[in-house]
Structure 1
Amino acid sequence: MAERGQSPPPERSSGKQMHDPPASGKGTDDASNKEDVNKAALEHLTSNPKGPMEDEVERKFEKGFKPSA
């Protein structure tokens, strides 16, 4: 008898393990408009997005900056 976690001997393997062809590689999601979605996402993509503190750094280094406290 096979130990726990081991595959069965080849003569006892099911068709899915031994004889059936592999999957076709087709996904399950609908990708009919994939080109349009990708193009729209690319148009709104910035090359170097603004960081969360960038506005504050610019404010601090602008001419005439007066600290609040």
Structure 2
Amino acid sequence: MPERGQSPPPERSTGKQMHTPPGTGKGTDDASNKEDLNKASIEHLTSNPRGPLEDEVEKKFEKGFKPEKKS
């Protein structure tokens, strides 16, 4: 018996598995303006974007930082 998740041996395969040709390999989306979309999406990227906590870290290590007292 084949292990779970494996295809059956060819002699036990159904007609669809054996006789249906593979897909065409073409996607369903329209990629006519793909180059323009890619250029537009990377135009304003920075090489090293700021992290979400960088402002807080800078505040914490400023000269004269006084931590808040917890009650």
TM-score (norm 1): 0.62
Residue 42 (structure 2) aligns with: 42
**How far, CA to CA, are the matches of 1:40 and 1:63 in structure 2?**
41
Structure 1: any 5+ residue segments left out of the alignment?
none
In angstroms, what is the RMSD of aligned CA positions? 2.4
- How much does 1:56 deviate? 0.5
Count residues in correspondence: 59
Q: Percent identity?
A: 68
- How much does 1:27 deviate? 1.5
TM-score (norm 2): 0.61
